[in-house]
Each structure stands twice: as structure tokens, then as C-alpha cells.
């Protein structure tokens, strides 16, 4: 994309069933092992916090957040590669953190591929810390890849006023 960030309107709004085909395009562009339409439909049906990032009148990113029992879990966050390095992933993540806090979560967890250096960097900069590893969590071309488990304590970040 050659448009400067200031030349288009960027909006995050709740995901709708009608967004699923556009969300799938982002998912398939962003990941070698994308979620299916049925998984996104199930997330909507289950009442997870599902959001889309719009720019230039199209879906360019999405987020799925589950909240319950004082914890939140970022289940999926993706931005179309054509729209990387414009702050969309950071905006989606910060929206997730605000929603988690608003819904009573004290901690937010996520899994990330160690090979996804950009995502690991984003999460660390936003205050997430590694708390574990899930062995053989993700499919990979040569078998399975571990996942880093990361956690953010919202009580700490709220007091520091980071967001």
C-alpha cells in the first residue's frame, strides 16, 4: 500500500457475520495455517469480543478476545501483510486490553510463535512477559512449532498509566 496513514480513515468496530469473508482473506494472507470461517462464526456465536480493523473502506485486520473468570485471552490477532507497519496490530491489541479491563480481567494471556519476531516484539513493548511455553502447539512445515505463552498484568499497567 502506498497511501500514507493520514490519507485514510482507520476504524475498529465489532465484527459481524457479513465480515467473515473479508476476515478470512486477511487470515489467509497473514498465516500459513489460518483459522476457518466456522471458527470465526463460532467465536461470534459464543459471544467472544470480535473486532475488525477497517482502513480505506476494507477489513485490514481482526481480533478475537475471550474474557472470563478474571482473565482474558487474545485468541487471534492478524493484520494483512499489505497493511503492516502502520500501527494496526498495536491498535487492535490496545483495544483488546481496554476491553479486557472493562470486562473485569486482571490478566491477559496469549500464545505466539517464537518465529514471529514482529509479534513477539509488539507484545513485549506493550508489557507482556513470557510465562511459559506450549510444546508442539502450532502446525509448521516440518512438524510442529512451540508457542510462547505471554501474560500482561492489567493491574500493573493500569496503575502506571501506560495506555
Question: How far from 52 is each of 25, 46, 141, CA to CA, in Å?
Answer: 12, 17, 29
Q: Which helix (H) or strand (E) holds 145?
A: strand 143-153
Q: Are 65 and 75 in contact (CB under 8 A)?
A: yes
Rounded CA-CA distance 72/143 in Å is 29
Q: 62: burial class by Cβ within 10 Å (0-12, 13-18, 19+)?
A: buried
137 in catalytic set = no
51 is an annotated ligand-binding site residue:
no
- Has 156 been annotated as catalytic? no
Task: Give the active site residue among 71, 106, 111, 137.
Answer: 111
- Cα separation, 108 vs 56, in Å, equals 30
Indicate which residue of 123, 126, 138, 145 is catalytic: 123
- The reply, when asked if residue 110 is annotated as ligand binding, is no
| Residue 108 assigned ligand-binding role | no
CA distance 38 to 15: 14
- Report whether 85 belongs to an annotated binding site: no
Binding residues for acetyl-CoA: 77-79, 116
Active site residues: 111, 123
Binding residues: 77-79, 116
Amino acid at each position: 500500500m502506498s497511501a500514507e496513514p493520514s490519507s485514510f480513515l482507520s476504524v475498529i468496530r465489532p465484527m459481524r457475520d457479513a465480515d467473515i469473508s473479508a476476515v478470512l482473506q486477511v487470515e489467509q494472507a497473514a498465516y500459513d495455517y489460518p483459522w476457518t470461517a466456522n471458527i470465526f462464526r463460532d467465536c461470534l456465536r459464543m459471544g467472544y469480543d470480535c473486532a475488525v480493523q477497517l482502513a480505506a473502506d476494507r477489513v485490514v485486520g481482526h481480533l478475537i478476545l475471550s474474557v472470563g473468570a478474571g482473565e482474558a485471552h487474545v485468541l487471534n490477532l492478524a493484520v494483512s501483510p499489505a497493511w503492516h507497519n502502520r500501527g494496526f496490530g498495536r491498535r487492535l491489541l490496545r483495544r483488546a486490553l481496554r476491553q479486557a479491563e472493562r470486562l473485569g480481567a486482571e490478566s491477559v494471556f496469549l500464545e505466539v510463535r517464537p518465529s514471529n519476531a514482529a509479534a513477539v516484539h509488539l507484545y513485549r513493548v506493550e508489557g507482556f512477559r513470557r510465562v511459559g511455553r506450549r510444546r508442539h502447539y502450532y502446525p509448521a512445515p516440518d512438524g510442529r512449532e512451540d508457542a510462547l505463552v505471554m501474560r500482561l498484568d492489567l493491574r500493573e499497567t493500569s496503575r502506571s498509566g501506560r495506555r
